[in-house]
A and B are shown apart, each in its own frame.
Chain A
Amino acid sequence: MILTINGRPLAATPGETLLQVARRAGVDLPTLCHHEGLEAWGGCRLCVVEVRRRPDDAPKVVPSCLQPAEDGVRVETHTEHLLRIRATLLDLLLTRAPDSDLIRRLAVEHGVSDGTFEPRPEPTSCILCTLCTRACAAVGAHAISTAGRGAEGEVSLPFVDDADACVGCGSCAAVCPTGCIELKDAGSRRTIWGRTFERVPCEVTGQPTVTREYAELLARRSGLPVDSFFVSDEGRRRQTADRVAGLVGVGDGRVA
């Protein structure tokens, strides 16, 4: 199918979103709550664009991360109204994450040097984009979720302190755009959501690998034995080389 973005005709395949088509065509659309690997959320609204099915329709503002590409649709990505929306949204997000480098950078790029709105009482840098809870659900732990409604919402463990379901994989901290989820690694000890895990050291290289809880989850999901996850990639490569060496009969069956 063919659609036009900022006047340029572009080919698109059914099932693609406007964001995918735009990015493929090199159009830079900012996103915060979008992640290619996770279920679309459509909450931050930064990626909004204007669409018109017929030339004389009034432009409709839609999130490009969710709006499916349609044949013949006219898309504008940087109209004056859209730029004002993005600037205001970033201004609003500064009330939640005044110290986040990403938000500040995006805000400056959209002409907002510093927040003009009244900041939240105790800003925690969390912008409630739910990337962390979606990642946790994708990994299969379902340890955290948003609690509370509206502006009082926050990401938390059940009853704030129940970290039983957490497996210490660290995906939540990795995907958080404002880095407000604390993950501390000291040697093989990992502390996250107030709980400390032991990452099992690799028998070959001694590097910390995954936590036992995470290995059990991966075992459940993949059918592989739990203990098969406790060797680092470095160690495994060495083991593979040894095995090949043994098969081929070079050296005394072991790599140096």
Chain B
Amino acid sequence: MSALPATPLDLAPLEPILARYPADRRSLVMVLQDVQAAWHYLPREVLNRVAERLAVPRSHVYHVATFYKHFSLTPRGAHTCTVCMGTACHVRGAGLLVEHLERRTGMKAGDTTPDGRLTVETVNCVGACALGPVVIVDGQYVGSATARKVDRALEACMGHAERKPEDSGITSNGGDSLGAGTDRQASSVVAWGRPPDPQTPTASGDGKEDTE
């Protein structure tokens, strides 16, 4: 899994979050939302502090934090690529887009790249069904997504992702499961934190967490 932040966690951002809500159980889900937004995940120390301040048992905070799909107990990537798997997107080939991303990053949807730069995940409907399949890259919606469009969006937001010349340029056009899309393009692949083949995951993430 990706590198744990080397420095001890800075809990300062928690105070303004807690100040916004009454200090009792009813604020728990909202507080967790803001913590997720601030740290991109729910650090253990923060959750323990939240339990204390809201006078709620830690077991209850853990009980709630592990229920909702939006919350993550492990650090997520600085960038997020979310493929919508709603019914409308499913019938228009979202599954093939997920496979494309899994091939591209060498990991399963839901994971984060070892260097902590990118999380690829699926969500069950984002409500932009008319332009299925939809992929969201760092909050930017990519409508009628094709593999090429997704690659371009990722390149744009991942900025200087290193290019690997020797990798064969593989892009596929997700499009409809039976390939309604026809534009083809052989751009060179951009490996986002994909470990060198053969895939021997390094023991511990050595890359320094370069969160923007």
Contact = CB atoms under 8 A, between A and B. Distances in A.
B57 A142 contact: yes
Nearest to A152: B66
B66 A157 contact: no
Contacts of B59: 133, 136, 142-145, 157-158, 165
B47, B62, B69, B73 interface centre (most CB from chain A within 10 Å) = B62
- For the complex, would chain A's binding face be called helix, strand, loop or mixed by DSSP majority? loop
A159 B60 contact: no
Contact of B63 (A145, A162, A164): A145
Contact of B62 (A136, A145, A149, A164): A145
Interface in A129-161: 133, 136, 142-149, 156-159
A50 B60 CA distance: 35
B61 interface: yes
Interface in A155-175: 156-159, 162, 164-165
Contact of B66 (A142, A144, A147, A162): A147
Contact of A159 (B57, B62, B67, B69): B62
Contacts of A157: 59
Interface string B10-38: 00000000000000000000000000000
A148 B72 CA distance: 11
Interface residues of B, number: 13
B58 interface: yes
A142 B47 CA distance: 16
B67 A158 contact: no
Nearest to B64: A145
B66 to A, nearest CB: 4
Nearest to A144: B59
A253 B67 CA distance: 62
B152 interface: no
A157 B48 CA distance: 13
A146 B58 contact: no
A149 B62 CA distance: 12
B103 interface: no
B57 A147 contact: no
A149 B57 contact: no
Interface in B114-148: none
A138 to B, nearest CB: 13
B63 A147 contact: yes
B60 A142 contact: yes
Interface in B31-52: 44, 47
Contacts of A145: 57, 59-60, 62-63
B57, B59, B63 interface centre (most CB from chain A within 10 Å) = B59
B67 A162 contact: no
A164 B48 CA distance: 12
Nearest to B56: A142
Contact of A147 (B44, B47, B62, B69): B62
Interface of B: 44, 47, 57-63, 66-67, 69, 73
Given A136-B59, A158-B62, 16 more contacts: A142-B60, A144-B59, A145-B57, A145-B60, A145-B62, A147-B63, A148-B66, A148-B67, A149-B66, A149-B69, A158-B47, A158-B58, A158-B59, A159-B44, A159-B62, A165-B58
12 contacts: A143-B57, A144-B59, A145-B62, A147-B66, A149-B67, A149-B69, A158-B58, A158-B61, A159-B73, A162-B58, A164-B58, A165-B59
For the complex of A and B, list the 3 residue pairs with the smallest distance between their C-beta atoms, beginning with the closest: A142-B57, A145-B63, A145-B59
